[in-house]
Amino acid sequence: MNTMKTYELNQEDLKKDGRIILYQRPRDDGSTNPFWWMRISVPNSTGYFRATTKEKNKTEAKRTALNKYEELYMRVLNGSELNATTFKTLYEGWKNEYPKIAGGNRNPANIKITIDRLGKYPFEFFVKVKKNISVEKISAQMINQYWDWRRENSYRPTGEKFVPSPNTLRKEATLLGGLFRYAKQKEYLKDIPEIPRPSGEKNRRPTFTLREYRTLTRKMTDWVKSGRGTRVYRDRFVLQQYVLVLANIGARVGEIRGLKWEHLRTIDVGKDQSAEESEGQRLVAYLSGKTGERESIFNEGSEEYIKRLFDFRKEELGEPPPLDSLVFCHKNGTPIGSMKKGWNSLMSHAGLERGTMGGRRTIYSLRHFYATQRLQDEVSPYLLAKQMGTSIKMLESHYGQVVNTLVAREITKTSTQVRKKSKDGSYPFMNV
């Protein structure tokens, strides 16, 4: 007896090769279920994929089946199993069953919090960043990649970037463990992958030591020179000034990206109480970003980087750039969407891809470098917070040890103590 034909009613071979079979299923009472199902096989794979098309209309069911075949064909072509369960499918199934798994006595609000936690950053990484990867391909190494990505791509509801605490990441590790145990129970996985638990040390924002920054500026000069006469020279030159500016003003990447020539001005800083002559002028930038509008002051000497860009742009255009044009732009004046590719190339050239705690350095690391150096140079945390467009709480959260040491020193010193200054009044990390 052919049970296949009994189980699959009204079969139609869509490709006439047995690869896509559309059919309906019998009901227990002998009638036919109006919904159409699909049975699909793909070259170079074993077994069948079966699922409902969720369609009663045969034409729509055919379209669904053909689209699914293309999806499965590409999945197998890329090395996955025909019936491999994707992270999205795993999450959706777990999401529906988790209230039962958690038990009837669990607070519904807490159940929702748990579901939302896995449905936010883990879902975005494994589904969007990793192209809805099959759960069988998730390894300890990939989970470590997730921790790095999570630290660099976390945002508060206000849009402000932040680094999640080690405790937050450890909670996510526990939740991922539960998700993978569910996957094994459902036979989506043979073995549960090892889940490395993030340590507290890795929460430190990747930045540069002063020695590393000097290495960066030296290597960066060579990197730019090596591109002279090629099509990458302009991009490298602009990125070089971009790096130097960010390290000397502490602004956010987006704030500098929108900087225009008309947003720049100079101010006279006057005399220091212990100086006989004026300390000269400083360049000031009007910035607009996530936390509103403010003016930030460039470190002494860094106006040279802006001047380089002005002269470069003037030669490129044959005349001074318009005041309402962007400081950092493509040759045609349009905004530079991202410098990530150039930055990664520079970090590789300089051998500085990762910080001392293993985190991958991003352009944002320059803001952290600025903050750390200014705090170590005994700048008031309150003034620094205003300069950087952030809060004291944020400084304490990410640079707590430096802030606390500075505050302790400030509140215990007497009027007879004199603050240390560099002999030439400049900042050591400016000498590049």
Residue pLDDT, tens place only, 361-371: 999 999 999 99
Res. 337 pLDDT band, cuts 50 70 90 = confident
Distance CA 259, CA 406 (A): 32
How long is the chain?
432
Q: Within 10 Å of residue 357's Cβ, how many Cβ atoms?
A: 14
Judged against a pLDDT cut of 50, whether residue 423 lies above it is answered with no
Cβ neighbours of residue 343 closer than 8 Å, sequence gap 6 or more: 239, 362, 363
Span 23-76, pLDDT tens digits? 999 998 989 999 999 999 999 877 788 889 999 999 999 999 999 999 888 877
> φ, ψ for residue 209 (rounded to 5)?
-75, 165
What tokens appear for 320 in the block? Answer: 């001074």
Distance CA 264, CA 249 (A): 13
Confidence at residue 85, expressed as pLDDT on a 0 to 100 scale: 84
Q: Contact, 290 vs 267, CB < 8 A?
A: no
> φ, ψ for residue 364 (rounded to 5)?
-65, -20
DSSP 198: P
| Residue 208 CA neighbour count, 13 Å, CB half | 26
Residue predicted with more confidence, 377 or 399: 377
| Residue 112 CA neighbour count, 13 Å, CB half | 3
Res. 422 pLDDT band, cuts 50 70 90 = very low
Distance CA 408, CA 413 (A): 9
Residue predicted with more confidence, 416 or 146: 146
Confidence at residue 415, expressed as pLDDT on a 0 to 100 scale: 47
Span 88-133, pLDDT tens digits? 999 999 999 998 888 766 778 889 999 999 999 999 999 999 988 8
Q: Which range, of 176-190, 240-254, 301-315, averages the lowest pLDDT?
A: 176-190
Res. 256 pLDDT band, cuts 50 70 90 = very high
What tokens appear for 386 in the block? Answer: 């205003």
DSSP states of 328-342: SB-TTS-B----HHH
What tokens appear for 214 in the block? Answer: 């000097």
Span 372-385, pLDDT tens digits? 899 888 888 889 98
Strand ranges of the sheet holding 20-26, from the earlier edge strand across to the other edge: 9-13, 20-26, 32-40, 49-55
Span 268-283, pLDDT tens digits? 876 555 545 556 789 9
Span 189-248, pLDDT tens digits? 878 888 988 765 444 567 898 999 999 999 999 999 999 999 999 999 999 999 999 999
Judged against a pLDDT cut of 90, whether residue 136 lies above it is answered with no
| Residue 111 CA neighbour count, 13 Å, CB half | 15
Q: Which range, of 31-45, 132-146, 286-300, 386-400, averages the lowest pLDDT?
A: 386-400
Angle in degrees, CA 68, 133, 200, rounded to 5 = 160
Angle in degrees, CA 318, 320, 326, rounded to 5 = 110
Judged against a pLDDT cut of 70, whether residue 294 lies above it is answered with yes
Distance CA 418, CA 423 (A): 14
Cβ neighbours of residue 112 closer than 8 Å, sequence gap 6 or more: none
Judged against a pLDDT cut of 70, whether residue 1 lies above it is answered with no
Distance CA 149, CA 370 (A): 22
Span 156-177, pLDDT tens digits? 888 888 888 888 898 899 999 9
Range picked from 37-41, 81-85, 107-111, 134-138 for highest mean pLDDT? 37-41
